[in-house]
Structure 1
Amino acid sequence: MPTLPWTTPNPVPPGTDVLVFASRFETRTLWGAFRFLLRTPGVWRHAPSAGGLSGQMRDAKYARWEVPGEALPLDWAEARRRLG
């Protein structure tokens, strides 16, 4: 699965803490990874109106933590540590 870059959808005002979300979702095949990436824009469009997560993502891992806005963009090393 390719590593996607961190995104900051809106500028963060100085002195503001932000909540960071990271996930790792592995597919069994290269075709599965390709299908996932093709569908990602639709997921991003749907996320703001979603009431929660559903479905079976047995192998997916998620992490969240707070950092000062000045620390953005983050280094992937911290996300990897938190995702285990």
Structure 2
Amino acid sequence: MPDIPWSTPTPPAPDAEVYVMASRFETRTLAGALRFFLKSPGIILQIRKAPGAHGVALRARVLGRTFLTLSAWEDRDALYRFARSEPHRSSSRAAAAYMRESAFTFWSAPAPALPVTWAEAERRLAEEAGRP
């Protein structure tokens, strides 16, 4: 499946610090992966319109039932406002029924470090999980 490449809804100021989140989701079944994947474009569009969003990308491995997300935000509050808003809020609750595992990691980065690479996101997620 193709990835949804990094997009920058609102560029941060060149000297800004941004709040970055990487996540990894694994579904229990292929049907769950398809449901997750079909909901993804709507959530990506929501992020692109969200106040304080500086970037978003999705790596979808539907047949492997694994998804990685990357997003960058003005600050932690902007991310949390998005997470509590619709349709993300309802989609997250519904996805819990078919999720096997979820992992998240957060960090601050200088604006010029955007876009974050998938290698960096995967490294940070592995560190968060205690894996080398």
Question: When the two structures are superposed, what TM-score results if normalisation uses the length of structure 2?
Answer: 0.50
Structure 2 match to 1:9: 9
Identity of counterpart residues, as a percentage? Answer: 49
Question: The residue matched to 1:82 in structure 2 has which SS?
Answer: helix
Q: What is the total number of aligned residue pairs between the two structures? A: 84
Question: The residue matched to 2:37 in structure 1 has which SS?
Answer: helix
5+ residue gaps, structure 1: none
2:22 is aligned with what amino acid? A
Greater strand fraction, Structure 1 or Structure 2: 2
Question: When the two structures are superposed, what TM-score results if normalisation uses the length of structure 1?
Answer: 0.73
CA-CA distance at 1:49 after TM superposition: 7.0
C-alpha RMSD of matched pairs (Å)? 3.0
The change in CA–CA distance for 1:49 and 1:4 in structure 2 (over 3 A counts) is closer
Asked if 1:60 corresponds to 2:102, the answer is: yes
1:1-84 maps to which residues of 2 (within 5 A)? Answer: 4-43=4-43, 45=46, 48=82, 50=84, 55=93, 56=96, 59-84=101-126
5+ residue gaps, structure 2: 48-80, 127-132
Alignment partners' CA distance in 1, 2:125 and 2:106: 9
CA-CA distance at 1:31 after TM superposition: 2.2
